[in-house]
Amino acid sequence: MNRLALRLAVLVALSGPMATKIAKADDASDVRAAITAQIEAFRADDGAAAYAFAAPQIQAMTGSQERFMDMVRTGYPQVYRANNVSFGALQPYAGGFVQDVFLTDPKGQAWIASYTLERQDDGSMKITGVQIRKSEELAV
């Protein structure tokens, strides 16, 4: 019995790092895809598509795609019409992820949008929030 337990422990130890790397690569790709698709939906004024990337708690808070789009237009105009989008490193955070996104607004001001995202039960990656702050970097 001890040998079986030892073999299982070794198997888990050997497979763990590889499984973690695969999950992280998939997570990073899914995070970037969700943010990129939502930004593209904002640019196209496609409220349904943009709303689809919001997590259920954000959808419940806003109540409708129209109210969601109004919130983004008024509260997050830098994201609503983002330009020159690039991604920083993905960080784990409270059961989800934080992704810094560097962008400029239509006037050329540089911003950092810190997105939080979580993988949903259906496997999709949804945006749970975003905080915006001015960047000290010069916009290009």
Please count the helices (runs of H) and the strands (runs of E) in the chain. 5, 4
| Containing structural domain, residue 39 | 2-134
What does the pLDDT look like over 59-104, one tens digit per residue?
999 999 999 999 999 999 999 999 999 999 999 998 899 999 999 9
Question: For the chain, what is the domain count?
Answer: 1
Going by DSSP bridges, is the β-strand pair 83-93/96-104 parallel, antiparallel, or unpaired?
antiparallel
Residue 140 in any domain: the answer is: no
Residue 82 in any domain: the answer is: yes
Q: How far apart are CA 121 and CA 60, in angstroms?
A: 17
Residue 61 in any domain: the answer is: yes
Residue 117 in any domain: the answer is: yes
Nearest of 48, 39, 34, 20 to residue 124 by alpha carbon? 34
- Look up the pTM and report it: 0.80
CATH number at residue 89: 3.10.450.50
Residue 15 in any domain: the answer is: yes
Residue 139's pLDDT is: 56
Residue 24 in any domain: the answer is: yes
Residue 139 in any domain: the answer is: no
DSSP 44: T
Residue 75 in any domain: the answer is: yes
**Starting at the edge strand that comes first in sequence, how are the strands of the sheet with 125-134 ordered?**
83-93, 96-104, 110-119, 125-134
Residue 88's pLDDT is: 96
Report the chain's mean pLDDT, rounded to a whole number: 85
E strands, the chain, are 83-93, 96-104, 110-119, 125-134
Q: Quick count: other Cβ atoms within 10 Å of Cβ 42?
A: 21
SS3 content of the chain, % helix, strand, coil (to 5): 50, 30, 20
